Amino acid sequence: MLPTVFRNRVVIATLVACAVLLLALALWQIILPELARVERFSRPIFIVGPLRCYLEKHGHLPPVAIRDRDGVPIHSWRVLILPQLDLSEVYGRYDFNEPWDGPNNRRLIDDIPDTTYGCKALGFKKGKTNYVAVKGPRTVWPDDGPFETKPGDHTSSGKCWRTVWLLELPRSDIDWSQPKDLTVAEAISYIHGSKSSPWNRPPELYGITGLVDRILIPATASDKVLEALFSTDESKVIPYKPDGNVDFGDEKGTSLILTASEHFGNLKQ
């Protein structure tokens, strides 16, 4: 039989170890949501940034999709910016002579890092994208060709930079290389949480602008304001409050523009 003193030490050590483990678990439960919030905020920066690099190199944004002779979309903009994402090796193996779901290209879907177009905080699934473009006439994603703007014009003076380029799409079933995005009408239906939309709107939904601002878009936003947010047409004015937030007509003030510096500044407080 073990001496009483030794048994007591074993019990104390076990209790201390359990206490440390419980404390670590409690801290992890506190830290985990904050990590998810940071990931959800930072992920779009690494998509919009490469889009702007593509613009600098080519003088225009990538087309929302490359079409075949019959007008069928066969390649996505998400494929075209792979070199700007430091994924030139995958881009080099992509075969533009076959559609995105051809025998060669299909094998590449799992060959990019999960964090390229995915976000765990948005219910990421392997090979899928949690970010989609909002396409249509007078958006930065027109169907009839790539959107062009003045070279070097990367200031907030042009409305195109303040429009929503991308929308979050939690638990998406869209493959990242699939040339599938949302039309303005589909985006509005999704934002409103319409039953006719194939995608379920999350409680908090963010749109990302060309300036990498996140805009918290309430389900109650009017079609007129949403159309202005997606449109490059200067006549469709985005309504702003005096504090710089978008005025969605929400009395609770749930609209929000949050820049990178503001966000990380808030984390330090």
What's the rounded mean pLDDT across residues 16-25?
64
Q: How confident is the model at residue 234 (pLDDT cuts 50, 70, 90)?
A: confident
Judge whether 220 and 249 are in contact, CB under 8 Å. yes
| Res 257: pLDDT | 44
Question: Where do the structural domains in the chain lie, given as residue ranges?
Answer: 1-42, 45-268
Interatomic CA distance for residues 105 and 88, integer angstroms: 15
Q: How confident is the model at residue 268 (pLDDT cuts 50, 70, 90)?
A: very low
Interatomic CA distance for residues 221 and 150, integer angstroms: 31
- Nearest by Cα to 76 from 101, 58, 113, 49: 101
| Res 28: pLDDT | 42
**β-sheet bridge partners, residue 183:** 135
Sign of CA dihedral 267, 217, 177, 147: negative
| Res 238: pLDDT | 85
- Encoded tokens for 68: 């075949």
Distance set, CA 118 to CA 110, 113, 122, 142, 260 (Å): 12, 9, 8, 24, 19
Q: Which of 152-161, 163-172, 242-251, 255-264 has the highest mean pLDDT?
A: 163-172
- Encoded tokens for 82: 């792979």
Q: How confident is the model at residue 23 (pLDDT cuts 50, 70, 90)?
A: low
- Encoded tokens for 49: 């940034």
Which DSSP string corresponds to 138-156?
TSSS-TTS--B--TT--ST
Q: How confident is the model at residue 11 (pLDDT cuts 50, 70, 90)?
A: low
- Nearest by Cα to 120 from 178, 79, 171: 171
Higher per-residue confidence, 77 vs 255: 77
